[in-house]
Structure 1
Amino acid sequence: MDLELTSEPTLFVEVLLPVPIPGTFTYRVPVAMNDLVQKGVRVLVEFGARKLHTGIIADIHNRPPKNYQAKYLLDLLDDSPTVNELQLKFWNWMAQYYVATPGEVMKAGLPAGLKLSSQSRIQLRPEFDIEEALDLEVLSDKELRLLRSLEQEDSIPYEQAADILEVKNPYYIVKELVRKEAILLFEAVKDKYKPKTKKKLRLNPIFLETEEGLEQLFASLGTKQKAKQEEVLMKFLMMVPVLTNPASNEEGIDKKELLEGGTSQVSASSLTTLIRNGILEEFEFIVSRFEEDEYSATRYQDAEVKLSEAQQAAESQVLGYFEEKDIVLFHGVTGSGKTEVYIELIKKVLDSGSQVLFLLPEIVLTAQMVVRLKKIFGDLLGVYHSKFSDNERVEVWKGVADGRYQVVVGVRSSIFLPFENLGLIVVDEEHEPSYKQYDPAPRYNARDMALVLAQMHKAKVVLGSATPSVESFYHALNGAYGLVQLKKRFGDAQLPEVTLADLKLERKRKTMKEDFSSVLLEQVRNSINEHKQVILFQNRRGYAPYVMCEDCSWIPTCPSCSVSLTYHIHRNQLRCHYCGHSEAVPKSCVQCGSTKIRTMGVGTQKLEEDIKFLIPEARVQRLDQDTTRKKYGYQQIIQDFEQRHIDILVGTQMVSKGLDFDHVNLVGVFDIDRMLNFPDFRAEERTFQMLTQVSGRAGRKKDKGLVVIQTNNVKQTILHKVARADYEAFFRKEIEERKQYHYPPFTRLIKLSVKAEDRDKASAAAGLLARELVKKLGAKRVLGPQEPVINKIRNHYLMDILVKLERQKVNPQKVKEIIREVLGELDGDRQFRKVYVNIDVDPV
């Protein structure tokens, strides 16, 4: 159809594509789609050479592009918007703030299941005559083999050609057949999301049209298998009362339930015969991927959440602040009962008809929290995190969009969900660095973006933590946020006692057993004898940080990254925790030939083995990334610990995060000095937060818990502040140092990370960038370039530049434009073609 000759207007759309290129792309709308295009609808477009992409319509207009001929939209993938206008506005804001492209934000925000995948396929040209080509002897043996295979199929995936031809790369053979016009290459497109379905059965309605219908049905059954078919039909009629309730037949019964349910099983082959003869009809219906459970409800339950006087006062304070402020910092010590206050606030928001987003920093925290919230909010609660499959995440997305889920518990990616009327966002453990996305772009902080999202929805925000970030506490003290504090634990629970174990003194006295001080080991034995539980915390995974030659001090390092390799005992191998490289443990030193290779330091695996040896009667389990790789691995270990099938839990940071166990009375902390001495201005803050959080796992009920921190320097003041649970003393010292050295919250930071395979090029490019930034911003605002602690990852050398901006005198958006300009100049320099620069706004 000639679109130019119609009276219909010619429409164009701006399409947002998941590519790292600024802006949107203009496509022409086929006239037949004029009445169907809407903002936020997914479309299929061609982008580049035969590449198909899923895009989102960001705007509709009638202005053709000036510099190129617009391609047509290929297809509309939705009847109604998948992304709402508020989301598009939010995505654009995020892209601008984090110096990313809207396409990168879209790629991060839209679940993979809502994006189409394209795949090259090969098809025989209908007009190509193989026999004639054979007569002319223009085909090689391999070419003929591929064409014969194509005669049997409509088309095959490109990758399958390699298997047919028995070659690694079929490119040259395929290319030659395209040149000979024997085959066609095209893109096949698949929609990744498929609803989960179950098979149901109903009686053919023809047998219900008359009163004699069922009698005629039984009379018509064949004699050979009549008894077994009658058995199937009788069971169906018992389970589906079609005579007393004709509507029940339309709804049908689950096929599996008919076969296996009730008191007896029926013949599957007889059922198949009844379906084939048209007596029973088989049909599919869509079901949720999330199994129904005992907590499912159409409205939240009045589960008992009795607030103490202190909690009631905290809730009243929060609501009071909400009269005049949009953000409240809720500072409550570990075990003070912040979650119960959150629940009461959520109930009030749901009663007003609005939605709630409950953010948690990591997947590991969702298990216990979901169980608690599910008891109260039933099937109004949705859960969203990366351990879910693509299809499960799409179902939550759709459930939020259609209003099925009024409360969502999720990790940082939950801020991208299609909320229509958010009333409250709770950011639990708001201090956690896990809210920050590191790679790829956009390198956003979900806590900070929650504040922006809430502002767009005119919603309220509660930031909760026992150890708030220095920035958040500063804003609260200065009146930007409301500040509510709970300084006592819930009920009769007391804060744990903290003891410092002097490793230097114990080594001198030779009282150490493996990596356990006598103080800690004695307390572990006491806890086990008293039938209590113990958590041992090590801020790193692996059997040991590294292995070393005793004679020459040689340490195996990763060939692609500037880090030592970590020893994993169960696989007896060395592994890099940055790029995944692994190799066998060397039997001798590659430098001096010595066979004295031993492990250095301590990791979770070694702690697990040592404590099993030292206290063999204890049941020990490890909780780290290696033991929780399976989808429900974490939940299983936590459940076993809750049910007291485990006496001692050895873990990394996972065990420090907001978990609540009734019978833990001892927490042991290893290797805290390494964390405290890390070269980062936030090192003391992170140490205080980590120690306070992990200490909070001890003594959650009436018994007072004990925390033993092993250290080489018991005089460190930060450890004594942890022992006193004195956050405000820590804050006063920290804020003075931040002010003196011009760090957040008094400045804004932007980090530029320069990467190149050639070390000299990385250094030269970083030097050029720094010089140009100094010219435009001044020397006081530009630090570096300098090599980071880990200066090589995945064969790329790294150099860092830090830009410090005063909060009052500088327009940060203008600075970001300057950075873009300088990077553009670098991109234009041919010698730096293979140099990459990552921009991290507000690094943590």
Structure 2
Amino acid sequence: MNAARVLIDGPSELVFDYSIPDGLPVVAGCRVRVPLRNRDATGTVLAVSDASGLKFKLRPLHSLSDPEPLITPKLLELAHWIAKYYGCSIESVIRVLLPESVRTEQNSAKKRKSAILSSPPDDETLATLERRAPKQFAIVSLLTHSPDHKLALTDLGEGASSAVKALEGKGLVTIVTEDVRRDPEADGTDEILPDSELTLNAEQQSALDAIVGTIKDPEASIRTHLLLGVTGSGKTEVYLQAARMSLDLGKTVLILVPEISLTPQTVRRFRARFAHVQEQVAVLHSNLSQGERFDEWHRIRKGQARIVIGARSAVFAPLPDLGLIIVDEEHENSYKQDQVPRYHGRDVAVLRGHFEKATVVLGSATPSLESFQNTQDGKYRLLRLNERADGQGLPLIRVVDMKLESKKQKGRDTFLSDRLRNAIDQRLERGEQSILFLNRRGFARSLQCPACGHVCTCPHCALALTYHRTDDRLVCHICGHQAIVPKRCPECSDRSIILQGFGTQKVEDVFRKVFPSARVARIDADALRKKHALRDMLNAFRAKKIDLLIGTQMIAKGLHFPNVTLVGILNADIGLHVPDFRAGERVFQLLTQVAGRAGRGDLEGEVIVQTFTPHSPSIQYARHHDFDGFAEQELEMRRQFHFPPFSRCAVLTSRSSHERRAEFTLQTLHRRLSEEPPPGLELGEPLPSPLVKAHGQFRFQLMLRAPSARALTLHVQKALDKTSLPEDVTVVFDMDALSFT
């Protein structure tokens, strides 16, 4: 007798064993109906084992919900690897592999009833209908002149149902029920025109040949390529032509993008290139409705979609015969999941390529140092694109020392230097566009009393509240708490309470006054609350209806606007002075990516970087577009201090509404981890997190480094198993941590 271990659908991770009735073809990955107390439930089979030696009787499962397994053996193998590597339960990984829209019984395919004209009626029948049943005559006329002689009942007008049934009784019309796809891109306002392949330059062709070579050779020793191409070097064209070759070989393609905001642009490029098979392009990301995700997921599983484009979770798309995985902007932190399971989309993509013998392409102008070091160690193949595809040079980057500007403006909040103001004026006169980047939303970063020094802070987080003028509210950017703006200081009742700092809202307000003739728009999370607001804004900018575009990191990468000749970085220091060994790397990447939005057409580009620390290596190397120089000095520092990529780094965090309990729990774990450590383990001290309180909970963290990730995860799991945690304390283990706040 065999038994099936079943993960029950629902918010709680219930796992039970059931016996498998004879003749029922149950395998791991199947969806089944099982008895649960006094009701039936649906679940996913995690594993099948021999139950003949059990001394107790198992309840039998009822039936299969689907005739075929929804999780392939390769994806199930990947799920078990993720659970072991990241130290999480297999149940949590299965919930990511099978999204809620697929698991829940409330979702199903959308049905539509249509009327089909069985055969064209003769003139006598038409005359009779026109005289005695004008509604039926109108429906027959519509069907006669419609494509395929078919129309949905909803398109035939109100009250058409009875008339159609009467026509069906006369044998003139047939009513059919069809599945209707809920297309996420169906409400696009502009038509996608087909385009053709571009002629590749020598560097692009060399990169394409290397990629296609491994697609054709399933036994290739190195299957992962790092495509290091400067901004505007034509990486997307290489992706497109590699995808076409994969499709020609009968294989499927998966494209990952770091931000949901980049998905529509990528979908547009691929649908334009593969216009003859547009319906084979599917989209997967968290902004889809439950119905859209249900339809897209099942289209992928059934092989109806051979190209999948999506954000992080799309790495688990159930594509058969996977030939090519593309991870665009592979350095982005957004590929790291911040909830259990805390997987990294890029690393999982590489591993999936290994399991399925698919080629993996990691693309970036500023690759992560982990990926770059893998090329030096011979694990990945490095492919370079050193020149822009259009022959234009990289934009000229000028650095403005804001300490000098602050003296000119007598200490006021300074975010518009004379050089940047003059540069914007020149672009407005020439009808060219500019992008202004500031990675801080809101109007002012804090509200402070000059008399007593009080700052309005969030009651749930150790963070100052940010003033948002559009809502006239103080808002916490961590937990979302909102408060009314006080007229007096809450501490000393002084009326001279003032705003400190600046965000994108204030920049927009000031720029509208300084450049009254300019058409100014803002892109950030506050301005884009409607579903397709970002797409509409970018389309307007592409159509040259906007002169100045102010935005956060949403505009920092992947966007192509040929008429943009100026990029202004208003404060390059944000993110530079934080307690994180990757801070310099992130600033270098961000500056290089934002600078790459300029000069992508026939006109030369210019970038103006405003900073109070102009001599920072991150800023100076970015100024000269020198990735190799930055990587060399940064990797040397990481090697000396045993930071990634020369070790594996994890963070253990305890959090609780009781500060002392959170601290004591982590101190206890620290003592347990100090016992019988694996070789090379470097254990930090339990300390308060840089953001010591968030969402009403106090947080303490501990950094661990070791040569082996598996050994580190196993050691931490053993310590956690030995420790009884207080009810109100939560401990989180994050392998390959990217966030230390």
TM normalised by structure 1 equals: 0.81
Q: Is the 8 A contact 2:336 2:345 kept in 1?
A: yes
Which residue of structure 1 lines up, in the alignment, with residue 587 of structure 2?
687
Which residue of structure 2 lines up, in the alignment, with residue 788 of structure 1?
689
Which residue of structure 1 lines up, in the alignment, with residue 236 of structure 2?
339
Which residue of structure 1 lines up, in the alignment, with residue 59 of structure 2?
71
Paired AA for residue 24 in structure 2:
D
Cα deviation, residue 258, structure 1: 4.8
Counting matched residue pairs gives 724
Give distance in 2, aligned partners of 1:296 and 1:601: 43
The 5 A counterparts of 1:578-727 are: 578-727=478-627
Paired AA for residue 792 in structure 1:
K
1:313 aligned to 206, 215, 218, which one?
206
Paired AA for residue 113 in structure 1:
S
Deviation sequence 1:74-109 (CA, Å, 0-9, x none): 553212222222211111111111101111011122
Which residue of structure 1 lines up, in the alignment, with residue 321 of structure 2?
421
Query: Given the alignment of the two structures, is residue 303 of structure 1 paired with residue 196 of structure 2, yes or no?
Result: yes
The 5 A counterparts of 1:105-504 are: 105-116=93-104, 191-203=105-117, 225-239=132-146, 252-258=150-156, 268-269=158-159, 272-276=162-166, 278-279=169-170, 280-290=173-183, 303-319=196-212, 323-377=220-274, 378-439=278-339, 441-504=340-403
Give distance in 2, aligned partners of 1:474 and 1:273: 71
Which residue of structure 2 lines up, in the alignment, with residue 44 of structure 1?
33
Partner SS state of residue 519, structure 1: helix
Deviation sequence 1:670-699 (CA, Å, 0-9, x none): 222231111100000000000000000011
Q: Is the 8 A contact 1:492 1:701 kept in 2?
A: no
Partner SS state of residue 386, structure 1: coil
Which residue of structure 2 lines up, in the alignment, with residue 805 of structure 1?
706
Give distance in 2, aligned partners of 1:600 and 1:414: 41
Cα deviation, residue 24, structure 1: 5.2
User: In terms of Rg, which structure is larger?
Assistant: 1
Give distance in 2, aligned partners of 1:600 and 1:679: 23
Partner SS state of residue 201, structure 1: strand
Give distance in 2, aligned partners of 1:606 and 1:739: 42
Give distance in 2, aligned partners of 1:25 and 1:44: 12
Give distance in 1, aligned partners of 2:83 and 2:372: 27
Residue 69 to residue 21, structure 1, CA distance change in 2 (3 Å): farther
Partner SS state of residue 704, structure 2: strand
Residue 564 to residue 51, structure 1, CA distance change in 2 (3 Å): farther
Residue 295 to residue 420, structure 1, CA distance change in 2 (3 Å): farther
Paired AA for residue 201 in structure 1:
A
Paired AA for residue 628 in structure 2:
E
Structure 2 gap segments, 5+ residues each:
none
Paired AA for residue 86 in structure 2:
Y
Q: Is the 8 A contact 1:94 1:105 kept in 2?
A: yes
Cα deviation, residue 274, structure 1: 4.6
Deviation sequence 1:15-47 (CA, Å, 0-9, x none): 23468999953113456xx43534422123455
Cα deviation, residue 817, structure 1: 2.4
Deviation sequence 1:708-735 (CA, Å, 0-9, x none): 1111122223212111001111011101
Residue 14 to residue 573, structure 1, CA distance change in 2 (3 Å): same
Give distance in 1, aligned partners of 2:287 and 2:723: 39
Paired AA for residue 275 in structure 1:
K
Query: Given the alignment of the two structures, is residue 763 of structure 1 paired with residue 653 of structure 2, yes or no?
Result: no
Residue 542 to residue 44, structure 1, CA distance change in 2 (3 Å): farther
**Once structures 1 and 2 are overlaid, which stretch shifts more, 443-452 or 547-556?**
547-556
Q: Is the 8 A contact 1:321 1:482 kept in 2?
A: no
Query: Given the alignment of the two structures, is residue 35 of structure 1 paired with residue 24 of structure 2, yes or no?
Result: yes
The 5 A counterparts of 1:538-549 are: 538-549=438-449
Structure 1 gap segments, 5+ residues each:
1-9, 117-190, 241-247, 260-267
Paired AA for residue 334 in structure 1:
T
Residue 228 to residue 409, structure 1, CA distance change in 2 (3 Å): closer
2:17 aligned to 26, 41, 50, which one?
26
Cα deviation, residue 255, structure 1: 3.1
Partner SS state of residue 372, structure 1: helix
Partner SS state of residue 791, structure 1: strand
The sequence identity of aligned pairs, in percent, is 34
Paired AA for residue 57 in structure 1:
V
Q: Is the 8 A contact 1:384 1:411 kept in 2?
A: yes
Partner SS state of residue 483, structure 1: strand
Cα deviation, residue 368, structure 1: 1.5
Give distance in 1, aligned partners of 2:688 and 2:201: 52
Paired AA for residue 396 in structure 2:
E
Deviation sequence 1:601-623 (CA, Å, 0-9, x none): 11111111111111111111111
Paired AA for residue 143 in structure 2:
F
Q: Is the 8 A contact 1:754 1:799 kept in 2?
A: yes
Give distance in 2, aligned partners of 1:315 and 1:814: 38
Residue 837 to residue 490, structure 1, CA distance change in 2 (3 Å): same
Cα deviation, residue 492, structure 1: 2.7
Q: Is the 8 A contact 1:236 1:258 kept in 2?
A: no
Query: Given the alignment of the two structures, is residue 536 of structure 1 paired with residue 436 of structure 2, yes or no?
Result: yes
Residue 67 to residue 471, structure 1, CA distance change in 2 (3 Å): farther
Which residue of structure 1 lines up, in the alignment, with residue 712 of structure 2?
815
Query: Given the alignment of the two structures, is residue 738 of structure 1 paired with residue 638 of structure 2, yes or no?
Result: yes
Q: Is the 8 A contact 1:527 1:533 kept in 2?
A: yes
Cα deviation, residue 461, structure 1: 0.9
Q: Is the 8 A contact 2:562 2:602 kept in 1?
A: no
Partner SS state of residue 43, structure 2: strand
Which residue of structure 1 lines up, in the alignment, with residue 420 of structure 2?
520
Q: Is the 8 A contact 2:433 2:565 kept in 1?
A: yes
RMSD: 2.8
Residue 236 to residue 485, structure 1, CA distance change in 2 (3 Å): closer
1:54 aligned to 35, 38, 42, which one?
42
Residue 237 to residue 368, structure 1, CA distance change in 2 (3 Å): closer
Partner SS state of residue 575, structure 2: helix
Deviation sequence 1:222-242 (CA, Å, 0-9, x none): 96x5345434334433447xx
Paired AA for residue 241 in structure 2:
E
**Once structures 1 and 2 are overlaid, which stretch shifts more, 34-43 or 781-790?**
34-43
Partner SS state of residue 674, structure 2: helix
Cα deviation, residue 50, structure 1: 6.3
**Once structures 1 and 2 are overlaid, which stretch shifts more, 416-425 or 193-202?**
193-202
Cα deviation, residue 575, structure 1: 1.1
Residue 37 to residue 595, structure 1, CA distance change in 2 (3 Å): same
Residue 594 to residue 94, structure 1, CA distance change in 2 (3 Å): same
Residue 840 to residue 54, structure 1, CA distance change in 2 (3 Å): farther
Partner SS state of residue 335, structure 1: coil
Give distance in 2, aligned partners of 1:318 and 1:232: 55
Which residue of structure 2 lines up, in the alignment, with residue 6 of structure 1?
none
Residue 610 to residue 46, structure 1, CA distance change in 2 (3 Å): farther
1:507 aligned to 381, 398, 406, which one?
406
Give distance in 1, aligned partners of 2:720 and 2:404: 53
**Once structures 1 and 2 are overlaid, which stretch shifts more, 663-672 or 107-116?**
107-116
